[in-house]
Amino acid sequence: MINNQYAKDRLRRTMMFVPGNSPKMINSADIYGADSLMFDVEDSIAITEKDTARHLVANALRSIPFQAETVVRINHPTQTPFGIDDLQVILPAKPNLIRMPKIEDVSEIELVAKEIEKAEKTYGWPEGTINIIGAIESVRGLYNIREMCHHPRMVAVALGAEDFIANIKTNRTKYGIELYFCREEILMAAREAGIQALDTVFSDVRDMEGFREEVTKSRDMGFDGKSCIHPKQVLAVHEVYTPETREIEKAVKILAAFEASLKDNKGVLNVDGKMIDKPIVVRAQRTIEQAKAAGIRVEEMEVSI
Amino acid sequence: MNGVQRSIPETIRGIGRVQPYTEEFAPVPVAHSKGRTIRRHLPHTSKVMASVQEAVQQAGMKSGMTISFHHHLRNGDYLMKLVVETLADLGIRDITIAASSFSPCHDFLIEYIEKGTVTALESSGLRGKLGVYLTHHPEVLKKPVIIRSHGGRARAIEAGELHIDVAFLGVPTCDVRGNGTGRIGKSAFGSMGYAMVDAAYADTVIAITDNLVDTLPVPYSIPQSHVDYVVPVEAIGDPEGIASGAIRITKNPVQLVMARYAAAVIDEIGLLKDGFSMQMGSGGASLAVGAYIREKMVARHITGSFGVGGMTGIFVKMLEEGLFQTVYDAQTFDIPAIQSIASHANHVEMSASMYASPWNASPVVNDLDVVFLSATEVDVDFNVNVITDSNNICMGASGGHSDAAAGADVTVIMCPVIRGRLPMIRDHVQTVVTPGDSIDIIVTDRGIAVNPKRQDLLKLLQYSHLPIKTIEELQALAYTLVGKPEETPVSTDDNDIVAVVEYRDGSVIDTIRKPLV
């Protein structure tokens, strides 16, 4: 059993795309507060630049002390000739996650997982040091998602909408009906497997209002976070994912009551007359985590139990 | 060693004995302000001259004089070239140019320095090809360039340290008696703040205008009682270079991060409250701070007292919205701000002296609660350089940096931790323009450092969620990213001093020496 629960639980409100061939952007990527940084050596990199990008990203991972989670999006391991070469260069630099584009079959994940395992053994890193986030970008991938989400290296699944939309022969709309089923299916598969679900990018960086609306919708659906393509989107997502004061106060109360009940060995507990059970406690913990990440000084909130 | 640990020679070529900088507000002035040649004007005689040449001849200009210019026409300025060419044609040589600043359009001076028409420069800064040229060839001038802040220049003029024989003013609208304004006209640039001091203290004042009128239809900025000659010309400047349309907030995400931190840190220390006063610059991050502060003021119904600029559309919008009661303006940067000064009574024009001179009854900077300034680089002693690059080439200007920093209660510097592959937090900045004693907070893209002498601010920020770090931690971070570069070797020969950087009180805070690379 791989011990990667931490990677499955960590806060991933934002995963910001950073082109893997731009030293300037890689250098400053960490200052915008994104929870995860996704260095791309795939779609944003021309074929002639693939090797440059993978070496640049590997060196950046070795030399820059990133605070955010580090993710590298590799080229497809079976549908392109670059994916395995990417892994040979990137894995020794120890990113937190490998992002696999267009996952369609569990065999692809097994292939990458094997490379990760080899690297972990070679460098003496504990099993589960490097994990996988896969992107659903095709109908075939969506139909195989449940099995793929159960692979032990998978800690999150993301939607890559642009390719998916092309695959189902439609266009993106503001109201998002074309992605409704896909988003729900991804979310359910992720939740059933106990991993995270991240929503797709929003490409019009000028339309901040539309962006906020979409983030709010995907948050309400249950997504853990959003893929971002511009620093200003990061801040907006964090704002949307910042719980209201009322929610935080409630969460503080629930957790205080929960801790008290553990001490007293009480089985059932209630707060303000409502019964509190495990899922409510877990949700409260999530709220507190999001509040703290947003800079709210939760410890200072005075809540009477 | 002076007060910022710089070695300053006792005497400097062409200048003589100099006073080394000790600390902010150390020298106490004892003299009287200097006057100028008394002159008269007879009734019903015209001041209007047919050409610059005629005015120069009437003024009795001769070799060895000091002439002044103001930089409101920015990179669109035609005036300096027109005047210097005229002087050269008349065979006048050995001229000192005291300009409130130089822009890249003044690169033409190289030719006239080589010809001997111009032999000395005194200004706020040096940039462009002229900056590179003089950095490598300090010997072409008879003395090093004297760099003064805007307030320091006004002080030097008033104290008689900088005596102007002839001031040339670029006046967007001027009447036949010499009353002038920058508010209207095809070359309108707004406030004439820097020209006001020159006009009041020069022995002779020549106003050059591209909109000569019989009677000025708006209040004057320069009164006729200061102006000796008026010269109409086709154009005093290129409108493209004088003012831009509304200066937009930067889209550079690194600058936006710094601006957001700067606004947040000022908010956390409790400065954003009714009646607060603020100065911000016109470039990059400092303009973006304004936008963030505006959001906070609107959301919380905060009304400030006065604002100071470098006026821009962002600031005048805050004035129009009632977020500030008054703005004081020595230099107007964009078209919305120029329109504002022409139409709002509480958009007030002020002279460079009123803005920032340390030696008057009270400059506006003395009551600033906060100023946001940028920096080329800073050091672990909080000293700031805004004038030389990492190769010690002159490429910037002191401006009002040290003035506002000395006056404001809280001075916030915005500077990224690295630029390209160079760390911007040095052990010692290349050139000290503003001493660390004036600097309270340095905001970078990777954290915020508070000057340890401001324990009061540190206490207010002790529970902050902002990334408060020591300056040494930020420097270490920069070194982690790009390493520590070697120092740029500079000449130790006192004949190779390119420029003398005066602190606002006239003492010498640093010298710029010829780099040996």
pLDDT tens digits, B206-250 = 999 999 999 999 999 999 999 999 999 999 999 888 887 777 888
Q: Is the CB of A300 less than 8 angstroms away from the CB of B463?
A: yes
Point out the residues of chain A with pLDDT beneath 70: 266-268, 302-305
Q: For testing the chain B interface, which of A26, A28, A292 should be mutated: the one with the most B CBs within 10 Å? A: A28
CA–CA distance, A249 with B154 (Å, rounded to integer):
57
Question: How many helices (DSSP H) and strands (DSSP E) are in chain A?
Answer: 13, 10
Per the document, the length of chain A is: 305
Other C-beta atoms closer than 10 Å to the C-beta of B462 total: 8
Q: In this structure, how many other beta carbons lie within 10 angstroms of the beta carbon of residue B436? A: 21
Interchain pair B256, A231: CB under 8 A = yes
On whether the pTM is more than 0.90, the answer is: yes
DSSP3 helix / strand / coil % (chain B, rounded to 5): 30, 25, 45
Nearest in space to B312 (alpha carbons), one of B240, B402, B250, B369: B250
Task: Judge: B480–A65 Cβ closer than 8 Å, yes or no.
Answer: yes
CA atoms lying within 13 Å on the CB side of residue A151: 24
The residues facing B441 across adjacent strands are B412, B450
B477: nearest CA partner in chain A: A65
Residue B355: per-residue pLDDT: 98
Taking an 8 Å cut-off on Cβ atoms, the answer to whether A32 and B253 are in contact is yes
Half-sphere exposure of B196 (CA within 13 A, CB side): 23
What's the gap between Cα A65 and its chain centre? 20
Nearest to B236 by CA among B281, B192, B186, B272: B186
CB contact under 8 A, B465 and A64: no
H helices within B77-176, ranges in order? 79-89, 109-115, 128-136, 150-158
Find the DSSP H helices in chain A.
5-9, 23-28, 50-63, 83-90, 106-123, 139-143, 145-149, 161-167, 180-193, 208-221, 231-240, 245-264, 278-293
Identify the helix (H) or strand (E) that includes residue B497.
strand B497-502
* Burial group, residue A259, by CB count within 10 angstroms (0-12, 13-18, 19+): exposed
ipTM of model: 0.84
Q: What residue in B sits closest to A235 (Cα-Cα)?
A: B257
Largest CA distance in chain B: 73
pLDDT at A305: 47
- B299 has a chain A CB within 8 A of its CB: no
Looking at residue B427, the DSSP 8-state letter turns out to be S
- Interface check B445 vs A, CB under 8 A: yes
A297 touches chain B (CB under 8 A): yes
For residue B463, what is the nearest residue in chain A, using CA coordinates?
Answer: A297
A302 contact B CB<8A: no
Token pair, residue A196, equals: 């995270």
Inter-chain CB proximity A230 and B418 less than 8 Å: no
Distance from CA of A9 to the nearest CA of B (A): 23
Interface test with A, best of B445, B466, B477 (most A CBs within 10 A): B445
By the 10 Å C-beta count (0-12 exposed, 13-18 middle, 19+ buried), A174 is classed as: exposed
Q: Which residue of B has its CA nearest to A64?
A: B481
Between chain A and chain B, the number of residue pairs with CB atoms below 8 A apart is: 30
B-contacting residues in A 16-45 (Cβ below 8 Å): 27-28, 30-32
- Given a cut of 70, the residues of chain B with pLDDT beneath it are none
Distance set, CA B191 to CA B64, B328, B342, B355 (Å):
31, 10, 9, 12
Q: Closest by alpha carbon to B56, among B98, B91, B86, B89? A: B86
Please, which residues 202-241 of chain A have a Cβ atom closer than 8 Å to chain B? 230-232, 235
Residue of B252, B257, B295 to mutate for A, most A C-beta atoms under 10 A: B257
Q: Do A65 and B254 touch (CB under 8 A)?
A: no
